[in-house]
Amino acid sequence: MYDAELAKERLYVDGLYARLDELRAAKVEQLAQVRRTKSMGTHQNRSERDAFASLYENRLAQLNAVDDRLAFGRLDLESGEQRYIGRIGLSTEDLRQLMVDWRAPEAGTFYQATAFERLGVRRRRHLILQGRSVSAIEDDVLDHTMLVDGEHLQGEGALLAALNSKRTGRMSDIVGTIQAEQDRIIRSPLSGALVVQGGPGTGKTAVALHRAAYLLYTHRERLQSSGVLLVGPSSAFMKYIERVLPSLGETGVVMASLGHLMPGITAAAVETPEVAKLKGGIDMVAVMANAVANRQRLPHGDSRVDVEGTRLVLTSRQVRRARDKARATGKPHNEARVTFVKTLLRELTEQLREHIEGSGAGNTADRSYLAEDVRGSRDVRTILNLCWMPMSAEKLVRDMFSKPEILAAVAPQFSAAQRALLLRPANSPWTESDVPLLDEAAELLGELDATGGRAEAAHDAQRKRDLTNAEKAISNMNQLLEDSGVDGMLTAEQLADFNVVDGDHLSNAEVALTDRSWAYGHVVVDEAQELSPMQWRLLVRRCPVKSFTIVGDIAQTSSAAGASSWQGALSPFFGERWALEELSVNYRTPTQIAEAAARMANAAGQVVSTPKAVREGEWEPIIDRVAAGAVVDQVVAVMEEETAAVAGGLIAVIAPKVQVSDITVALRAVYGHRIGHGAGSTVQDIVVLDPHQAKGLEFDGVVIVEPAALLAGAGGRVGDLYVAMTRPTQRLRLITSEPLPEGIER
């Protein structure tokens, strides 16, 4: 019975791959055809072809990305219909449906149906593929009348197989085994802010990624041009998750860690928790506003300026009036400067004219000539710049943190000790908590455009030409688009966007990454508990419609500026307009380890509920007590046993930041290139991390060094140790020279 069914499924899946290959070959041919004729014809013809080339390339990339585990399910419905579920929708040439995209409404029941609520489903079948071949099938029979002798209810096999598989250092998608509580969140409506709270390993990251793919599929028209931004805690984390969305056939999501949210800035340096807390606090809004106002200065007394040998006077009253007028425009600093400068130039020109008329010399009719003289005067330039300096965000922030007198003037609400903490040399590298300050500054300053707006005007004119061109081209494209099997219509704006970088096409995602003012259609934030108020402010600016998916775990907060409750973190930005969903099952950590982590957190005063772990592990946490000074040697000594225990799996050593490099050096001496950082790579099966870098990642085995120091170092928060203890999928070992934090041992 089983073998016969397996053989049938193999045949069907072979057919699906054959269809996939056919579609690919067709796209390759269409692309080649477009490329052959690319440089010929009118501008309009060319732009049409470029647009096609981009569409074919995208579709081809999508078809290539879904090869692995193309199909993963089959529904047998009460109506008698059999419906296959997979990564994308596939149909025969005559439009007979072969497989439904997992995100389509018709696929929803695959994840939602239960024996209690069958939703019209008689049987759910999981297809387990290896390469292109079906290696096993597994049935959930929801309608008991279908059971024949010897068959019994199954269900969790596919899930447990996925969970027990070795970690590779890169997250995989869970599309074949999404659980009902996760599916409900993934398919929630697009608008508003949805907060997903869940303990460690409950699939928050997985849900966030699948939700991004679902939203792009379901609301393609709305989101394709505005895009979706996915924000994670660190570069190591972004690397860990980078393959999930492509494997779901989505390449258009912009992914950025908190240090990369400001175009042109890479913030890699770290700072102390105290400094991060000060910089992340909402007080910085006023500080930044002061910093900008501080660059709009009044001179002491009157200033004399020389214009072509004539002495003119600029009174401080005149400057004040010009300043008030410029401020009243409500424009950002650099743009309001135009009003300030124009006002004073006009007044000085008037003064010059009066002076010349008074002395009876010169051609008074030619005022533009006088205005040129005033504008060309060095003195005038100097005084105007002194009073209202054009300013970049980088310079404003750099000066503020490196010049004590500026900091004192703009941050009077901070104590002298707090200001001393903030001061640093002017050439210091940017940190993560500088990013929202730079963004705030850029917002208040506006564009710093040395060409006086000419570049922008030229860009606008070009854009207008592209749009007109695109509108013409689009009228005869729709039929062709349909023929090419591309869903959705192009708008003139999208087509114009394809034209912008003629030939060398930039995707919306790439454009969005370089444009600070890009307004995304949706933002997904992972590990959201870590965000400071200033970081929230930045993110809300990136998505003015406030359509957010926010996932995190309040108990895992380790950043000093992070959240201690969702209400506290979100209400300043979303008011009461956010909904909370919770995930309750731990898919990662075996029961024994999950319970030890929860006992430790509760003993340290952080109330956490223990999500139900789906697996029992083989081992209780292992504890090594060693003498102070012997810790690093012990790490090296146990490594062989640890790697053997997880048989070729991935091991992480999580240590206090100050010990990471010593441990790395000691391990390298024995294990050479097998030792790495971050999420690891194919050659590195042992990685050394601090708790911050370990956020969101997972490993087969974890060795924690000096757990008491991790607990103490986090300023009273359990976050760091709790995060570290909840990373393993199999085995946890703790090496300590100090008394073990309470609760870990039963």
Ligand X SMILES: Nc1ncnc2c1ncn2[C@@H]1O[C@H](COP(=O)(O)OP(=O)(O)OP(=O)(O)O)[C@@H](O)[C@H]1O
Beta bridge partners of 675: 686
- The beta strands (E) that lie in 103-166 are given as 121-130, 133-141
Q: Which of residues 578-597 bind ligand X (CB under 6 A)?
A: 587-588
Identify the residue among 73, 89, 108, 200 touching ligand X (CB under 6 A): 200
- 202 part of the interface to ligand X, by CB under 6 A: yes
The answer to the question of whether 682 is labelled as a binding residue is no
- Shortest approach of ligand X to residue 134 CB, angstroms? 19
Identify the residue among 47, 54, 205, 664 touching ligand X (CB under 6 A): 205
The answer to the question of whether 202 is labelled as a binding residue is yes
- 204 part of the interface to ligand X, by CB under 6 A: yes
- 696 part of the interface to ligand X, by CB under 6 A: yes
Q: Which of residues 497-556 bind ligand X (CB under 6 A)?
A: 553, 556
Burial 498-534 (b: 16+ CB within 10 A, else e): bbeeeeebebbbeebbeebebebbbbbbbbbbbbbbb
Stretch that binds ligand X, among 200-208, 254-262, 281-289, 563-571 (CB under 6 A): 200-208
The answer to the question of whether 205 is labelled as a binding residue is yes
The answer to the question of whether 468 is labelled as a binding residue is no
Q: How far apart are CA 703 and CA 404, in angstroms?
A: 44
Sign of the alpha-carbon dihedral angle for 660, 661, 662, 667: positive
Beta bridge partners of 688: 653
- Is residue 319 within 8 A of residue 347, CB to CB? The reply is no
- 726 part of the interface to ligand X, by CB under 6 A: yes
- 494 part of the interface to ligand X, by CB under 6 A: no
Identify the residue among 134, 159, 319, 528 touching ligand X (CB under 6 A): 159
Pairing of strands 686-689, 699-705: unpaired
- 559 part of the interface to ligand X, by CB under 6 A: no
Closest CB to ligand X among residues 436, 696 = 696
Question: By C-alpha distance, which of 299, 531, 336, 323 is closest to 435?
Answer: 531
The answer to the question of whether 204 is labelled as a binding residue is yes
CA distances from 597 to 555, 557, 583, 626, 729 (A): 11, 15, 18, 21, 13
- 698 part of the interface to ligand X, by CB under 6 A: yes
Number of residues that bind ligand X (CB under 6 A): 23
Q: Which structure tokens are listed for 719?
A: 């976050």
Q: Which of residues 162-191 bind ligand X (CB under 6 A)?
A: 162-163, 174, 177-179, 182
Closest CB to ligand X among residues 691, 696 = 696
- Shortest approach of ligand X to residue 697 CB, angstroms? 7
Structure-token match 């973190």, residue found: 569
Amino acid identity, residue 475?
Answer: S
Closest CB to ligand X among residues 574, 587 = 587
Closest CB to ligand X among residues 178, 732 = 178
- Shortest approach of ligand X to residue 85 CB, angstroms? 14
Closest CB to ligand X among residues 490, 723 = 723
Q: How far apart are CA 514 and CA 503, in angstroms?
A: 19
- Shortest approach of ligand X to residue 182 CB, angstroms? 6
The answer to the question of whether 203 is labelled as a binding residue is yes
- Shortest approach of ligand X to residue 215 CB, angstroms? 17
CA distances from 703 to 165, 686, 741 (A): 20, 10, 15
| Residue 707 phi, psi (nearest 5) | -55, -35
Question: By C-alpha distance, which of 396, 422, 395 is closest to 408?
Answer: 422
- 86 part of the interface to ligand X, by CB under 6 A: no
Q: Which structure tokens are listed for 307?
A: 């214009």
The answer to the question of whether 200 is labelled as a binding residue is yes
Q: What is the CA radius of gyration of the chain?
A: 31
- 201 part of the interface to ligand X, by CB under 6 A: yes
Q: Which residues are annotated as a binding site?
A: 198-205
Q: Which residues are annotated as a binding site for ATP?
A: 198-205
Question: Which residues are near ligand X by CB under 6 A?
Answer: 159, 162-163, 174, 177-179, 182, 198, 200-206, 553, 556, 587-588, 696, 698, 726
